[in-house]
Amino acid sequence: EFLDAYRKGSDATYSPAAHTVKTGCASVDDFEVPIEDRNRTSPFPYGGHRFEFRAVGSAQNVSMVNTVLATICAEQFKEFADQIEAGKKPQDVAAASLNEHWKVIFNGNGYDPAWVAEADARGVWRIDAGVEAIDVLASPKNLALF
């Protein structure tokens, strides 16, 4: 909700709120669940002032993945900085980027087969297997990034 309002020009502050889980059990107290811990199916979720990366298996080396992610983020931050230094307002730069990439924002269950149909309907490009990922690793767009 916040991002949708922000990309449409709102200057509201992001204020996630925890919610209380009532156990209904006398021997287990009610407890608060932070909003940041709501989507365990996202490979790159935002979790309360930080992003987490969850797509690499526990037995895999994350060095290449982290190098690629850091390079992608650095490239995009450079593009944002160039626009801001050229005189655009930071909120306008952020809103334009959100509008351009809105189709990839999904807060549902990424394991649900319905997400595949939803992603296709949105025009989100997917790679569903490691072999497919390796096949496009050396595509011209990816090589140009480095």
**CB neighbour burial string for 47-76, b if at least 16 within 10 angstroms, e if fewer:** beeeeeeeeeeeeeeeeeeeeeeeeeeeee
pLDDT of residue 90: 95
The average pLDDT across 77-98 equals 96
Question: Higher-confidence residue: 43 or 130?
Answer: 130
Three-state SS at 21:
strand
Which amino acid, one-letter code, is at 59? A
Q: Rounded to two decimals, what is the model's pTM? A: 0.70
pLDDT of residue 35: 67
Three-state SS at 92:
helix
The average pLDDT across 27-35 equals 83
Task: Calculate Rg over the CA atoms of the chain.
Answer: 19
Phi/psi-derived region of residue 87, left when phi > 0, alpha when psi is between -120 and 50, beta in every other case: left
Distances (CA, A) of 121 to 42, 104, 114: 19, 11, 11
pLDDT of residue 48: 63
Q: Tell me the per-residue pLDDT of 43-71, one tens digit each, with 9 for 90 and over.
A: 777 666 677 777 777 788 888 888 888 89
The average pLDDT across 109-119 equals 89
Q: How far apart are CA 121 and CA 115, in angstroms?
A: 10
Q: Are 6 and 98 in contact (CB under 8 A)?
A: yes
Q: How many CB atoms lie within 10 A of CB 3?
A: 16
Mean residue pLDDT of the chain comes to 85
Q: How far apart are CA 146 and CA 144, in angstroms?
A: 5
Question: Higher-confidence residue: 72 or 87?
Answer: 87
